[in-house]
Each structure stands twice: as C-alpha cells, then as structure tokens.
Amino acid sequence: MDSSPALLLLLALGFCEYGHGALLPHHQENPATEDKTLGCPGIYGQSLRIKVTSPKDITQLQVGQKLELECHTDKNHGAFWIRQDRSGTLHFIAFINSMSRVTFGRDPRSASRFEASKQSTIYRLAVKSFTPQDEGSYFCVMNFNQMLDFSPGQRAFLPATTTLVPITWAPTSKSGIAEESSLKTPDPDSRMQEDLNFFCHIFIWVPLAGACLLLLIALVITIVLCQQTRRRRCRCKR
C-alpha cells in the first residue's frame, strides 16, 4: 500500500468506472448517499467526514486564498485525497500513510501546490493558493479490509462573477444634453387622457366663445339703437 498508493487507488476506481460508467457523477454532491447504486462492492462512506477549516465561508472562496480541509476518521490506516473536476474526471492529489508519510501525484508541481499532513486520525489537505484549476469536489478515501470508504464530496468553487453591460449614450446635442438612442413607445393611457382633455376643452370653450360672441352682438345692437334714439330726440327739440 505504501509503495504505490496512487496506482492501487486508480486501479480500484478504474474497475468501478469501467463497469458502471462514472464512479462519481459530477452533479452528485454527496456520494455517500448513493453507495448502494454504485455497483462496486466495497465502497462505503459512513466513517469519513470532511471539514473546511479555511475559509470560514466556502462559498466566498477567492483566487489565491488558502483552502484547508480536514478528513476526520475513526481508523489509522492512511487516507487518499482526490479531486473530481467539472467534467467528472478524478485527479489523485496525495496519499498519507499511517506513519504520516506523504506521497503526491505524478505532477511535479503537486508538492509546491499542496500541503498534506496527519494528526492522530485526522488527515489534512491544504491548497496553498487556490486557482480555477483547483475547482471541483474533494474526497477523502480510505482503504480498509479491501473496502474503499469515501467521504461526502466537499465542493470548492469560485463565486460566479457578474459581467456588467456598458451603457452606450447617443451623441450629445449643442445644449450638452444627451439624447436617447432609442425612441420611447407612447403610453396608450396617456394618449387616451390627452384625447379626453381635448374633447373637454372643445365642450367648454366652444359654448363659451359662442356666448361671448352673442354678448358682443347684443352690445353692438344696443349701442346702435341708443345712438338712433338720441338723434331722434335731438331733432324733436329743434
């Protein structure tokens, strides 16, 4: 086990994956709840538990931040750390044996990117500087009595970023006021209100104008009659 832990783990996972498509589907957040449907004898997930020690809020994980995970077990037989990416591919990270010896994967940069240690029956893994390549679900695996114990997957993803759409303004007029690039559609309610106001004005002002005209005509007639009556009186006195 200690001489080639990665090879033994990959062989065991390979047989399961070959016979049943994918061992851990990428949409499955808790593989322990599906141990009976995996179809691979000797896979369980009851005795391993992952705890995030840093950051305090895993949903606010940032680029360059240190990610620290702890695998709490009840046995002292060594543990594997593996990561499942978005496509469902499994990546071996490190193996910590019962003597606290750490064996990293084939990637020579693994030793500089990760830290692994053991204290009693707690197996720790730390991603020194988290990057988008480190996103995925992290699992702690233990091989005991020819059985693989899987911990529930711990999801570690960067928060989704929201892209702001820039606002484009039309060229400004001479007065320095920006004109809108698109025409606004008239509001039907406001248009109806304008029509009603127009008819109201007609019904009010037309009769009023007619009344004023009649008063003006009556005034003219009165003035004319008064002048004629005055002339007649003047002729009678002579």
Helix (H, G, I), strand (E, B) or coil at 51: strand
Tell which of 160, 176, 206 closes a domain: 160
Is 55 a residue whose pLDDT tops 70? Answer: yes
Angle at 162 between CA 157 and CA 164, to 5 degrees: 160
Alpha carbon dihedral 204, 205, 207, 211, in 10-degree steps, equals: 130
Are residue 51 and residue 147 in the same domain, yes or no? yes
Are residue 72 and residue 145 in the same domain, yes or no? yes
Are residue 100 and residue 143 in the same domain, yes or no? yes
Are residue 201 and residue 153 in the same domain, yes or no? no
Are residue 132 and residue 204 in the same domain, yes or no? no
Number of domains in the chain: 2
Are residue 151 and residue 198 in the same domain, yes or no? no
Is 227 a residue whose pLDDT tops 70? Answer: yes
Structural domain that includes position 100:
45-160
Whether the Cβ atoms of residue 38 and residue 19 lie closer than 8 Å to each other: no
Q: How far apart are CA 41 and CA 38, in angstroms?
A: 8
Residue 182 lies in a domain: no
Q: Please state the pTM of the whole predicted model.
A: 0.56
Tell which of 110, 136, 160 closes a domain: 160
Model confidence at 235, pLDDT cuts 50, 70, 90, reads low
Residue 169 lies in a domain: no
What does the pLDDT average to over 36-59?
70
Tell which of 160, 183, 203 closes a domain: 160
Q: Give the pLDDT score at 207.
A: 78
CATH of residue 75's domain is: 2.60.40.10
Residue 141 lies in a domain: yes
H/E stretch holding 119: strand 114-119
Is 99 a residue whose pLDDT tops 50? Answer: yes
92, two tokens:
């071996």
**Contacts of 15 by beta carbon, 8 Å cutoff, 6+ apart:** 40
Are residue 199 and residue 117 in the same domain, yes or no? no
Whether the Cβ atoms of residue 45 and residue 152 lie closer than 8 Å to each other: yes
Is 95 a residue whose pLDDT tops 70? Answer: yes
